[in-house]
Amino acid sequence: MSYAALQVDPTVLAEGVNLLWVLVVTFLIFFMHAGFAMLEAGQVRSKNVANQLTKNLLTWSVGVTLFFLIGSGISSLVGGSGFAPAFGASAANDYVGWLFGAVFAMTAATIVSGAVAGRAKLRAYITYTILLAAVIYPVVTGITWAGAYISFGGESFHDFAGGMIVHGMGGIAGLTAAYVLGPRMGRYNEDGSVNVIPGHSLTFAVLGTLVLAFGWYGFNVGTAATVFTVTEEGTLALGAFSTVGRVAMTTTIAMACGAIGAGLAAWAKTGKVDTLYVANGLLAGLVGITAIPDTTTWWGAFVVGGLAGAQLPVVFGFVEKRLKIDDVCAVFPVHGSAGVLGTLLFPFVATSSSVGSVVNAFIAQLIGVVAIGAWTVVATAAVWFVLKAVGQARVTPEHEQEGLDVSEHGVETYPEFGGGDSVVADGGSVSESIRTDGGSNE
């Protein structure tokens, strides 16, 4: 019995596998929105949960539409390739690349919602999301991934999966917006002392953390987007997958050390291991490594993750007590400062083959951090100051006290604990109850 050789075009095989890989990791990254929704909902008061969930839903819906129509074109324009929006794609499979870029853009956008929780008008937040997806974020990708303009002494700015470009930018944007809006009612006393306003569900917050960590493998490992390439001889060879093992390892170690670092820092500070610090520290470790997982040594992953987690309680306390900025979901210490830290540590923890001059590489990283940070602060502040000037940035004190679920959406997330008479499943009614945020409806 004889067999005919199976004829497979290696180019077709490589393209098919690469497209499949990109789509799978794109779906993973999209699922991170479920994590953000749970994490943020858990950290806000029960009267603001529906508002936070709505912001997460609309961030994706509005943002991805604007990124398709305008944002992707702005990125290519700033990057030097002319205005080439996604809808002008010449081939159907080109949309796969657009979608991969879109989920990164929407991650940067949704980070901001956690910083302005509890007092921002929905229309203000959506207005900012539109501008972020259409202009602010695309300019950042235009000068980095699309244009690769930032370098020094032969060393180029290095951000593998968006540690600074996505997370650092989002964290800085959130801090800026929170500063312009001002703190929530009751957050600070007249003497400047701080009142703790706990979130309504630690369970939701931890669940959201773990969902985000799961999706992060798509974020980091997925950025090794080329599985196969075809050599000049017509044979298959590994593409970016040549470093995928290192990316997976450093991502995992940094994640773990972020949680450990935050827990130890909280324990040293208060004598208690704060659960929310551990959860956010895990995320800070992931943010810290995201710019550099492809080049970091194994021991470097311990250093980056541990430091990113340990800085969380310190930076959060500084923002809260010194700057007097009410960053509800700690988006700056989790995404902003951790992203900056990991990006700047690149030349010090990289493998010897990844960096020529440590000094020049550090300066290139510093230039990138300053450029992205400055642009984000200026653009974000301009938008929110204009909204504030026309009276559209913040809800009224009455609506803030009542809760944004009712004032902005006309719903109660937990109607059985709400004010007034509530119909319950057995046909009876409840006129007085204790709310999950600790208040009462007497």
Q: Which residue has the tokens 């937990």?
A: 414
> pLDDT (tens digit, 0 to 9) for every residue of the chain, 442 residues total?
555 555 778 899 999 999 999 999 999 999 999 999 999 999 999 999 999 999 999 999 999 999 999 999 999 999 999 999 999 998 999 999 999 999 999 999 999 999 999 999 999 999 999 999 999 999 999 999 999 999 999 999 999 999 999 999 999 999 999 999 999 999 999 999 999 999 999 999 999 999 999 999 999 999 988 899 999 888 899 888 888 999 999 999 999 999 999 999 999 999 999 999 999 999 999 999 999 999 999 999 999 999 999 999 999 999 999 999 999 999 999 999 999 999 999 999 999 999 999 999 999 999 999 999 999 999 999 999 999 999 999 999 999 999 999 999 999 999 887 654 443 333 344 333 333 344 444 4
Residue 21: Cβ within 10 Å count: 20
Residue 92: Cβ within 10 Å count: 7
What is d(CA 352, CA 369) in angstroms, rounded to the nearest whole number?
23
176, 184, 53, 42: which is closest to 110 by C-alpha? 53
What is d(CA 416, CA 409) in angstroms, rounded to the nearest whole number?
17
For CA atoms 197, 200, 203, 205, give the dihedral sign.
Answer: negative
Q: What angle do CA 224, 225, 231 make, to 5 degrees?
A: 95
Which amino acid appears at position 184 of this protein? R
User: What pLDDT score was predicted for residue 432?
Assistant: 38
Report residue 367 as tokens.
Answer: 């230039």
DSSP category for residue 332: I
Backbone φ and ψ of 79, nearest 5°:
-75, -5
Per-residue CA distances from 403 to 52, 132, 166 (Å)? 11, 26, 30
User: What pLDDT score was predicted for residue 433?
Assistant: 37
22-27, Cβ contacts within 8 angstroms, sequence gap of 24 or more: 22/96, 22/97, 22/100, 22/222, 22/225, 23/96, 23/99, 24/218, 24/222, 25/100, 25/218, 25/219, 25/221, 25/222, 25/225, 26/96, 26/99, 26/100, 26/103, 26/218, 26/222, 27/218
Task: Record the pTM.
Answer: 0.92
User: What pLDDT score was predicted for residue 430?
Assistant: 39
What is d(CA 70, CA 180) in angstroms, rounded to the nearest whole number?
27
Report residue 118 as tokens.
Answer: 């509890």
Query: Which overall architecture, per CATH, does domain 10-401 show?
Result: Orthogonal Bundle (1.10)
Which residues make beta-bridge pairs with 434?
440
Which residues make beta-bridge pairs with 350?
296
What is d(CA 316, CA 81) in angstroms, rounded to the nearest whole number?
40
Residue 409, Cβ density class (10 Å: 0-12 exposed, 13-18 middle, ≥19 buried): middle
